[in-house]
Amino acid sequence: MQSKFPMTLMALLIGATTMSSVQAYEGDWKRGRVYYRGVCTTCHTAQGGTPIGPNTKTMEEWSNYMKADKHAAGKDTVSQYVGKAYRDSVKETNKAAEKFADTPDEELLEDIRVFLLKSAKDGDSPASCS
Amino acid sequence: MSDRIYIFNRFNRFWHWSQAVLVISLLITGFEIHGTYSLFGFEKAVSYHTILAWSLIGLWAFSIFWLFTTGEWRQYIPTLEKVDAMVKYYVTGIFTHSPHPFRLTRLQKHNPLQRIAYLTVLSVIGPITWSTGLLYLFHDYWTEWGLRGFLVLEWVAFFHTMAAFMMLTFVIVHVYLITTGHTLTAHLKAMITGWEEVED
Amino acid sequence: MRTQRFRRRTLLPLFAFLGVLLPLLTTDLAAATDAAPAKPVKMNSTADHTKYEDLQQVFKSGPEVTKACLKCHTEAAGQIHRTKHWTWEFLNPENGQRLGKKNVMNNFCISISQNYSFCTGCHIGYGWKDKDFDFTSEVNVDCLACHDTTGSYKKPAGNAGNPVVGEPMEMPPGSGKMVKPVDLTKVAQKVGKTSRDNCGNCHFYGGGGDGVKHGDLDSSLASPDKELDVHMDATGLDFSCGTCHKTSSHDVPGSRYKPTAREQHSAYIRGKGEKVNPATCQACHGNKPHKSPILLKSARMNTHAEKMACQVCHIPAFARGGVPTKMSWDWSTAGQKGSDGKHMVKKDATGHVTYDTRKGDFALGHDVVPEYRWFNGDIKYTLLGDKVEKSDSPTPINRIDGSPTDGRSMIWPMKIMRGLQPFDPVNKTLVMPHVAGNDDIGYWKNLEWEKAIADGMRNVNAPFSGKVDFIKTEMYWPITHMVAPKEKVVSCTECHAADSRLKGLPGIYMPGHSAKGWLDIIGWLAALTALLGVLIHGAVRITLSLRKAG
C-alpha cells in the first residue's frame, strides 16, 4: 500500500508535463504590461537610463529582440531579468516582481512578448512607456 | 533686615510650575490650532494640545483635592480689605519705594489683589477652559449624547478661545508681577525654594 | 524572506501529517487527483470561445459577430437594450428631465446632434449614423466593445460605431492616415470578462481624447500603481471597474445624472442593499470606516465623514497619472488661421494642444486640486430650449444642488469645466452645432458657425435665429476615481488653515480656518495692552531706581 504514493506522484507529474507541452501557453498581454511597466520601466528609470516605450520598435524588431534574448547590448539576457531568481532578488522592493513571484519563467516571457507585439509601433495599440 | 517665611510647600511648588509649563504649552499649541501661526502642523498641534489638556485636568484634580484637604482654599477667599492700598501701591508707591501695604504670613500668603486674580483663574478662566475644551474634545459624541441640538461648535470654540486670551493676559501680568517683591527675585525664589524673604 | 521562513516552519509538521495520512488515503484519492490538476484549463471563464464552431468563420461586420453571440446568449441584446449604454438616454425620476448623451449638451464638443458617426464610436452598437438609428435592433448591439480581451478591437471616430473590417481604411478620407482592420474572428474567439481596458476605451477618452473630460478617468488607470489608485493597483488589489460598478444583467450601476451623494449606513453584506448603488465607498466601507488606536481619533475622522464625501480627503488631486485633463475650452477664439492661411495647432512645452483653429483655446491641468461644493445628488441640466442669459457669471450646464442644512448634502470634490461656447443670442438658448464631419457643413472643416449650428438645430427640430454669440458656461464633474493610499490623503493642514481647500464653503466651522475676527482683535488687544502696561510700569521703575542710585 505504501509504495503507491510515489507512483501516483510520478503519474501526476508526467501527466502535467505532457499536457502542458501539448497545449501551448497563450500569453496574457495584461500581465506582460504589468511586468514591463512595473519591473522593466521602473528599473530603467531608476538606473538613470531612458525607459524604452514599446512603441519605439516595430513588431518585427520586438519579436527579434525577444528571440535574441540579449539585454544591455549583449552583456546579459532578457530572460535573466524576467527569471524567477531575479524576481526573487527584487521582490522585497518591487511589487510587480512580488506579484509574479511564482509565475513560471516561460509564461512571463510570453506575456511580455505579446504585450510588446501588441504595443509596438505597428501593433494593435501602440503604447508609450507609462 | 529681612526675615524668611516658608510659604510654598513642595506640592504647592510642583503644582505651580507644572501648571505654568502646561498652560504655556497649551497656549502655544492652542493658538496654532486657532490658526494664528503654524509651528508643528495642525494635526500634531491637536495631538499635543489634547495630551497637555488631559495632563492639566489631572493636575487640577490633584490640586483641588489638595486645596480642600489642607484648607489652603481659604487663601483664595476674596477680600476687599486693602485692595485700594494695593492698587495705590502699584500705581505710585512702588516707584518711590514705599513699604508694601501687605505683609504676608503663613496663613495669608496672597495679597488681596492676588486673591482676586487667582480666584478668577481658578473659578472663571479655568472652568470655561476645561468645560468648553472637553465639549470640543468630545464633539464627535455630541449626537450620541443628545447635545447636537443645543450646542454649536463655533460657539464652543469661541468661548474656549476667549478663555485662552484671558489666560494669556493673566500670564503676561503675572510674570511681570514676580519682579515686584521685596527684591526683584524674591517672589521667584519663593516659588522655587518655598521660602519668601519679607521686609522686617 | 518572511514567507520562506514561515513556509519552512509550517510545512514541516504538515508533511509529517500527510506522510501518515496519505498512504491510507491514496487508494481512494488516486482516481480523483489523477485527473483534476493535470489538465490545464481556463480559469477566468467556463467557456473557451475558440472551440465554438459559430465563431470559426470570417466575419465581415460587427453585426455578424453579434448574430453568432446571440445564438447562445439569447437574452443579452434584450438586456443591453434597457441600459443607458445603449439608449444614451436617461429620464431623471426626480425632475422629469430627459437626459443622456442623446439629449444633453456639454462644454466640450457640445452635443451629438449631426456628429453621430463620430460620437457613436463610443456607442455599444453598430451603425448609429443619424437620428433615425434603430434602437430595437438586436444584431446592432456591439458585444465586442465590452468583451474584447485582445486589446485590438477599435471603433474609430467617424465610422458610426463600426470597426474597420477587411481592408485598411483611410480616416479621415484624404488624410493619408490608414486605420488597420480588426481581426473579428480572433476578437470573437477571445471574448471574456469586461476589464478596465474595455471600459477605458471610451471612458478614459471622453471629450475626444485621453483624460480630456473627467479628470479622474484616463488611460493611466488601465494599469495603475498604488499611488494612483489604491483599489485598482495592478500589482495589488487590481480591482476592475466592475468590482465597484457591480453589474448585473448588463446594467452598470453608478450614475452621473443621479449620483448618490450621501449615504449613512454600514457596509452591505451579501444579499443586502441590492436596490442601492454598489459603487459608493460606503457600500463596502460603511459610513464609519476609520479605525485608529489613538483615543478619539477614529471618532473624529468618522465625524468628518458625516459632512464630507470620502473623496474629499482620499482624492488629494485628480489627473495624477501623468495625463492632463482639459480645464477650460474657449470656442469663441476658434477659426484663427496661421500666417499661411491654413489651420493651425499650438502646443505647450509637453506637446499638448492649447490652441486648434477648429476648436479654440484650451487650458489643461494635471495634479489638479479639486474645487469643493455642497452636493446632495440633485442635478438640473440646462437643456436645449432652456433660456440662458449672457452675463459675467457662467451659465451652469448642469446645476448641482446642495446646502449645509438640507440634511442630504455632503461636501464633494469637483472638476469644474469652464468655457465659452456658441449660443443663440436672439432665442437665448444654447445650441447644438454640427462640428465633426468631412462635409461642407461641419464647423471643423468649414469654420462657419451659422451653417454648422443651423444644421445641428434643424436635426433636432429646434429653432435657431441665425445669430451666433458666445456664452460663458461651467459644468460640474464630481470626482470619485483615483483614490490615493491612506498615506497620501489630504492632510489636516490643507483645510485647517487660513488658505484652506474648503475656503468659502458655507456652513462649516473649521478650527484653524474659521476663527472669529473680532474675538481675535479684542483678545490680542487685551494681551498687547497688558504687555505694554507692564513694560511701561517696569521701565518707570527702572528709570526711577537708576536716578535714585545715581
Q: Looking at residue C30, what is its pLDDT?
A: 44
Return the percent helix, strand and coil in chain C, to nearest 5.
Answer: 30, 15, 55
Residue C301 has pLDDT above 90, yes or no: yes
Q: Is the pLDDT assigned to residue C365 strictly greater than 90?
A: yes
- Choice among A94-98, C17-21, C246-250, C381-385 with the minimum mean pLDDT: C17-21
For residue B91, the model assigns a pLDDT of 85
Q: What is the DSSP secondary-structure string of B107-152? A: S--S-HHHHHHHHHIIIIIHHHHHHHHHHHHTGGGTTTTT-TTT--
Which chain C residue is nearest to residue B180, measuring alpha carbons? C538
What pLDDT was estimated at residue C273?
62
C39, C152, C236 ranked by CB distance to A95: nearest: C236
- For A33-55, how does the pLDDT look when each residue is reduced to its tens digit (9 = 90+)? 999 999 999 888 888 777 889 99
Whether residue C300 and residue B38 make contact (CB cut-off 8 A), yes or no, is no
pLDDT tens sequence across C186-206? 999 999 999 999 999 999 999
pLDDT of residue A129: 63
CA dist list (Å): B43 to A62, C292, C350:
52, 14, 37
What's the mean pLDDT in C435-439? 91
> What average pLDDT does the segment C106-112 reach?
97
Specify if C429 maps to a domain: yes
Which residue is listed with cell 497619472? C321
C60 in a structural domain: no
Cell of C127: 451603425
Closest CA to C450 of C434, C474, C462: C434
In a domain, C433, yes or no: yes
Query: Which residue among A16, A38, A124 places its CB closest to the CB of C151?
Result: A124
Query: What are the pLDDT tens digits along chain B (200 aa)?
Result: 467 888 888 999 999 999 999 999 999 999 999 999 989 999 999 999 999 999 999 999 999 999 999 988 888 888 887 888 888 888 888 888 888 877 777 777 788 888 888 999 988 999 999 999 999 999 999 988 999 888 999 999 999 999 999 999 999 999 999 988 878 888 898 889 988 877 65
Residue-level pLDDT at C503: 94
User: What integer is the mean pLDDT of C442-462?
Assistant: 96
Chains touching C (at least 3 CB pairs under 8 A) are: A, B
Which residues span the domain enclosing A44? 27-119
- Interchain pair C515, B34: CB under 8 A: yes
C4 confidence band (pLDDT: 50, 70, 90): very low
Q: What residues of chain C lie within 8 A of the CB of A30, using their CB?
A: 195, 197, 223
SS3 of B2, please?
strand
pLDDT tens by residue, C467-510? 999 999 999 999 999 999 999 999 999 999 989 999 999 999 99
Is residue A3's pLDDT more than 70?
Answer: no
Query: Is there a domain that residue A6 lies in?
Result: no
Touching A (3+ Cβ pairs <8 A), the chains are C
Confirm whether A105 is domain-assigned: yes
Q: Which residues of B touch chain C, with CB atoms under 8 Å apart?
A: 32-36, 38, 41-43, 46-47, 50, 90, 94-97, 137-141, 152-154, 157-158, 161-162, 164-166, 168-169, 172-173, 175-177, 179
Q: Do C27 and A1 touch (CB under 8 A)?
A: yes
The per-residue pLDDT for range C132-169, each reduced to its tens digit, is: 999 999 999 999 999 999 999 999 999 999 999 999 99
- For a pLDDT cut of 70, what percent of chain A falls above it? 81
Class of residue C79 by CB neighbours under 10 A (exposed 0-12, middle 13-18, buried 19+)? middle
Tally of domains in chain A? 1
Residue A4 lies in a domain: no
Closest CA of chain C from B43, distance in Å: 6
CB contact under 8 A, C303 and B140: yes
Q: Which residue of A has its CA nearest to C237?
A: A99
Q: Which of C88, C139, C84 is nearest to C251 (CA)?
A: C84
CB-CB under 8 Å, C40 with A8:
no
> How many H helices and E strands in chain B?
7, 2
Domain tally, chain C:
1
Please, which pLDDT band fits residue C274 given cuts at 50, 70 and 90? low
Q: What pLDDT is recorded for position C37?
A: 55
pLDDT at C82 over 90: yes
Q: Is A21 a domain residue?
A: no
Instruction: Give the pLDDT mean for C357-371.
Output: 97
Print the domain residue range for C468.
325-494
**What integer pLDDT is reported at residue A17 of this predicted model?**
45
DSSP C265: S
| Domain B2-199 top-level CATH class | mainly alpha
Show residues of chain A in contact with C195, CB under 8 Å: 30
> How many other CB atoms are found less than 10 A from the CB of residue C221?
25
Q: Which of C38, C223, C234 sits opposite A15 (nearest CB)?
A: C38
Would you call A38 an interface residue with chain C, using a CB distance cutoff of 8 Å?
A: yes
Give A12 to chain C, closest Cα distance, Å. 6
Best probe of the B interface among C531, C540, C547, by most B CBs < 10 A, is C531
Please say if the pLDDT value at position A73 is more than 80.
Answer: yes
How many Cβ contacts (< 8 angstroms) between chains A and C?
68
C33 at the A interface (CB within 8 A)?
yes
Question: The cell 516552519 sits on which residue?
Answer: C9
Instruction: Mark whether B and C touch (3+ CB pairs within 8 Å).
Output: yes
Residue of C nearest to B54 (CA): C295
pLDDT attached to residue B109: 78
What does the pLDDT read at residue A69? 93
Q: Is the pLDDT of residue A96 over 70?
A: yes
A49 touches chain C (CB under 8 A): no
SS3 C410: strand
Instruction: State residue C173's pLDDT score.
Output: 82
Residue C49 falls inside a structural domain: no
Burial code of A23-37, b = ≥16 C-beta within 10 A, e = fewer? eeeebbbbbbbbbbb
Residue A69 lies in a domain: yes
The verdict on residue A88 lying in a domain is yes
Instruction: Name the percent of chain C lying above pLDDT 90.
Output: 81
Residue A41 lies in a domain: yes
Say yes or no: C322 contacts chain A, CB-CB below 8 A: yes
List the single residue in C with minimal CA-CA distance to A16: C38
Q: Is the peptide bond before B101 cis (omega within 30 degrees of 0)?
A: no
Q: Does residue C300 belong to the interface with chain B, where contact is any CB pair within 8 Å?
A: yes
Q: Which of A118, A124, A128 has the highest number of chain C CBs within 10 A, making it the mutation to test binding with C?
A: A124
- In 3-state terms, what secondary structure has residue C421? strand
C515 touches chain B (CB under 8 A): yes
State pTM to two decimals.
0.86
Neighbours of B105 (CB within 10 A): 10
**Chain-centroid distance, C-alpha A28:** 10
- Whether there are 3 or more C-beta pairs closer than 8 Å between C and A is yes
How close, in Å, is residue A79 to chain C by CA atoms? Answer: 21
pLDDT > 60? residue C246: yes
The CA-to-CA distance between both ends of chain A, in Å, stands at 58
**CB-based burial, C160-189: b 16+ in 10 Å, e otherwise:** bbbbbbeeebebbeeeeeeebebbbeebbb
Residue A53 lies in a domain: yes
Nearest-neighbour CA in chain C from B133: distance (Å): 13
Residue C184 near residue C65 (C-beta atoms within 8 A): yes
